[in-house]
Amino acid sequence: MIAYDKLPKVYEPGDVESKWYKYWMEKGYFHAEADPSRECYSITIPPPNVTGSLHIGHALCYTIQDVLGRWKRMQGYNTLIVPGTDHAGIATQNVVEKQLAKEGLSRHNLGREKFLERVWEWKREYGGTILNQFKRMGYSFDWERERFTMDQDYADAVLEEFIRWFNEGLIYRGVRVINWCPRCQTAISDIEVEYQEMAGHLWHITYPLEDGSGSITVATTRPETMLGDTAIAVNPEDDRYMGIVGKNAMLPIMNRPIPIIADVHVDPDFGTGAVKVTPAHDPNDFEIGERHKLPSIVVIGQDGTMTEEAGRFSGMDRYAARDAVVEELRAQGLLDHEEEYTHSVGTCARCGSVIEPLLSAQWFVRMKELAQPAIDAVRDGRVKFVPERYTGLYLDWMENIRDWCISRQLWWGHRIPVWKCEGCGKYMAGRNAPSACKKCGGGAFEQEEDVLDTWFSSGLWPFAVLGWPKKTPELEYFYPTSVLTTARDIIYLWVARMIMTSMHFLDEIPFHDVYIYATVLNEEGRRMSKSLGTGIDPLDIVDKYGADTLRFALIQQAGKGQDIRFSEGRVESVRNFGNKIWNMSRFVLLNLDTESGNLPERPSADKLSVHDKWILSRLQKTIDAVNTGLAGYDMDNAARALYEFLWSEYADWYIEIVKPRLQGEDKAAAQWAVWHVLETSLRLLHPIMPFITEQIWQSIPHQGESIMIAPFPKFDESLVDEDAESHMNAVMDTVRAVRNLRAEIGVAPGKRTPGTVVPNGAAARAAIEESAECVKSLAKLSQLTLAAEAPSGGQYMSAHIPAADIYLPLSGLIDVDKEAARVKTELESVKKDLARSEDKLKNPQFTEKAPAAVVEKERRILAELTDKAARLEERLSVLQGK
Ligand SMILES: [Zn+2]
Ligand SMILES: [Zn+2]
């Protein structure tokens, strides 16, 4: 005999959620082992930064993955979701450096080894924060397989990747202009550069021609870089400069002749159409320099001060040098003019310093060759982007791919396994120092100081976490993974690289689908940001409303559109949905005979009422909608179908209709139906709201030890009953029409009224006749007359629906005169408000100066008032027409 939990009056998510999470963990449901006899479904989650804590975007991203995983697991797939964290080189190093700064120390005081010990200490203490937050969200990840991108095995995979690429000639040391943070003292990737609009100047500088035949003027926002100019470039089509291409200009201050060259990449419409070329300090200039074989002169050093190449400005800070150079130009009469100029300046995402594009020696990966198989894999559909529009973006970028700078001047990360021979300078890659130099035979080596870009190691995440380079059973069985769910801004940085590395090392795609989830914005459509105070902390929501509520609130908006507008108001409405499910479940439980411990028995078909058949039909269509929605990544459709079904059909109609039967003598069929629909719906809802569904499911008759491993409902077309559905549509339309009429004239809620229904056709007549008792009770009719035509004599209100015409007599329902007077007063007051709102919106002072959200709100108010006034007018005319 099963003892069912009692469902307390109020649902308290806190205790329930921690209880079930513990239970699932103890039962080992999250863990999966390779088992070739079963079909698998696998996900390796995007590893969040170890420094991270859960924000709303994460909550969406990982909830999607958990919903998919729970759904597939219930469908019988051997489901694995591997969690883990990324060591996040620069982010983590900065956190620890800040910690040190508070102690008055820097990483240089400690030295490399001691500093890395500190970082590991930090990681042990704080590195688990975000994963613990994942547990509160209810994620069914396989914690036994948790990975970290600096774990021993993982580090080994990274070395393998590097050494193989190095030996295949795909990694080279080269000189390029990279984003350099003078504060962090490292190269940083494009995604770590934040562009900010800054007020500055555009200086127009005159460069005299060497032959004295005139001059050429260029404009720059960074005049200090002119000290490193090695050319002036114009567009070959630009008529203004036809005669002087090929001549030399004299570089002011430095008095060095530099060539005037023609290059198609110069925009003739910008400034004077002539640009200074500083290959060492601008990525575009670097490319012009490559094309025209120009020398690169480094005038700004890695610490942001001027180098010896900067002549008498050497040793000055870059900004002091800027002022000094401008002064000097002015003194020499070579400053044509200057203007105020707002432009976007790259800053370091970690520390806010202005990025200095800098020529420096770095390690690069050749991308062209790696890109081709990754292009093919997407083009021929082996890897599918969802939504589809991201395919083009990916292909565009891949076809114009540039070599990848993989070295970072940090300490925290995978140290580059390259050894330089002290004798001849040859570079060799290896896990350890080579025993002898291949070129000169020398035995003294120096290891490269730099570490690898974090994306280098995360690029092999999906297969490294499954054991690569070892041939593990997990890699054999769970790979390629089923889906990657990620943000659109790392399609290039991460998704593309995973596809490239996987194609290269495994000759296999890393995942079948790439689902790019929507961006979560606040209600006004702005980005959520902690510093702007526009963010919502997902954990606050979990504390207040429970994880289920947050999960559902996110998923019900997670469609293929771009953005999600999120607010606490949405969460509240989902909380109400949860309470509705709770309350109706309590009702169902109270009306079942649970003492026997047996499952309610399925009645023979003839015992089922048309209402039972209707709800069973609707249940099947909901099952279909949920499965189709999840399969097509239209999760919003799945959530909406569940919400509509459970609230609007099951709770509001079916339970109301079935109540009298549950209290009658012959109740077994009704008991079975009400239980069956609830039990099935809980399983349908479980992937999105795992906790409340488990709590209720365990409390009602059920089969199995957890809903999480119970079978997911399958669509059964034989239970779709269109006749029952049109029958119920007639019933519901009739009831709604009567309710609307009653509301229109303000009938007191408890008052019953007689009504006449004139059905439209035999089917409608049969339906309303068969469900007459139910219509009477739901529409609060004291008497229901089915007539062939409209009643005559007396005053009636009427409504027309597809199935019938409906008539309610006015007399006796209300005191018509009194009600008319009341409506009139209300209408006058609404009209006053309406006029006030109209005036406000006619006033440009308001519409142009008030914040957009305030104006928008006023427009909504106006629309509501207009609507209300129309309804009152209508009601008044009915009342006065008596
Ligand atoms: Zn920085
Ligand atoms: Zn050597």
Distance 441 CA to ligand 2 centre (A): 6
Which single residue is written with the structure tokens 């269509």?
Answer: 621
**Banded model confidence at residue 506, pLDDT cuts 50, 70, 90:** very high
Residue 464's pLDDT is what?
97
Distance 163 CA to ligand 2 centre (A): 19
The answer to whether the CB of 221 falls within 8 A of the CB of 341 is: yes
Give the percent of the chain with pLDDT over 90: 63
**Banded model confidence at residue 880, pLDDT cuts 50, 70, 90:** confident
Residue 276's pLDDT is what?
94
Tokens of 2: 């099963």
Distance 411 CA to ligand 2 centre (A): 26
Which ligand has its closest atom nearest to the C-alpha of 422?
2
Kindly give, in sequence order, each residue whose CB lies less than 8 Å from that of residue 503, ignoring residues fewer than 6 positions away: 370, 373, 374, 377, 509
Residue 493's pLDDT is what?
87
**Banded model confidence at residue 567, pLDDT cuts 50, 70, 90:** confident
**Banded model confidence at residue 532, pLDDT cuts 50, 70, 90:** low
Distance 443 CA to ligand 2 centre (A): 8
Q: What is the pLDDT of residues 727-746, one digit of tens each?
A: 999 999 999 999 988 887 77
**Banded model confidence at residue 283, pLDDT cuts 50, 70, 90:** confident
Count of CB atoms situated within 10 Å of the CB of 139: 25
Count of CB atoms situated within 10 Å of the CB of 11: 21
Residue 193's pLDDT is what?
86
| Residue of 621 and 55 predicted with greater confidence | 621
- Which of left, alpha, beta for 764 (phi over 0: left; psi -120 to 50: alpha)? alpha
Distance 104 CA to ligand 1 centre (A): 19
pLDDT exceeds cutoff 60 at 159: yes
Which ligand has its closest atom nearest to the C-alpha of 438?
2
Which ligand has its closest atom nearest to the C-alpha of 94?
1
Mean pLDDT of 709-713: 97
Give the percent of the chain with pLDDT over 70: 98
**Banded model confidence at residue 664, pLDDT cuts 50, 70, 90:** confident
Residue 2's pLDDT is what?
43
- Cα Rg for the chain, rounded, in angstroms? 36
Distance 347 CA to ligand 1 centre (A): 8
Distance 444 CA to ligand 2 centre (A): 8
Which ligand has its closest atom nearest to the C-alpha of 192?
1
Distance 85 CA to ligand 1 centre (A): 22
Mean pLDDT of 184-207: 86
pLDDT exceeds cutoff 80 at 444: yes
Mean pLDDT of 303-324: 93
Residue 3's pLDDT is what?
43
Least confident of 69-78, 112-121, 191-200: 191-200
Distance 354 CA to ligand 1 centre (A): 8
Residue 25's pLDDT is what?
96
Which ligand has its closest atom nearest to the C-alpha of 193?
1
pLDDT exceeds cutoff 70 at 1: no
Distance 127 CA to ligand 1 centre (A): 22
CA 216 to chain centre: 50
Supply angle C-alpha 514, 518, 521, rounded to 5: 160
Distance 110 CA to ligand 1 centre (A): 20
Distance 319 CA to ligand 2 centre (A): 42
Residue 531's pLDDT is what?
60
Give the Cα separation of 150 and 153 in Å (integer): 8
Distance 358 CA to ligand 1 centre (A): 14
Which ligand has its closest atom nearest to the C-alpha of 440?
2
| Residue of 427 and 52 predicted with greater confidence | 427
pLDDT exceeds cutoff 80 at 561: no
Distance 427 CA to ligand 2 centre (A): 8
Distance 430 CA to ligand 2 centre (A): 15
Q: What is the pLDDT of residues 374-399, one digit of tens each?
A: 999 999 999 999 999 999 999 999 99
Alpha-carbon torsion (700, 701, 706, 711), positive or negative: negative
**Banded model confidence at residue 813, pLDDT cuts 50, 70, 90:** confident
Report which of 483, 636, 396 is spatially closest to residue 46, judged by C-alpha positions: 483
The answer to whether the CB of 199 falls within 8 A of the CB of 344 is: no
Residue 534's pLDDT is what?
65
Distance 404 CA to ligand 2 centre (A): 27
Share the mean pLDDT of the chain. 91
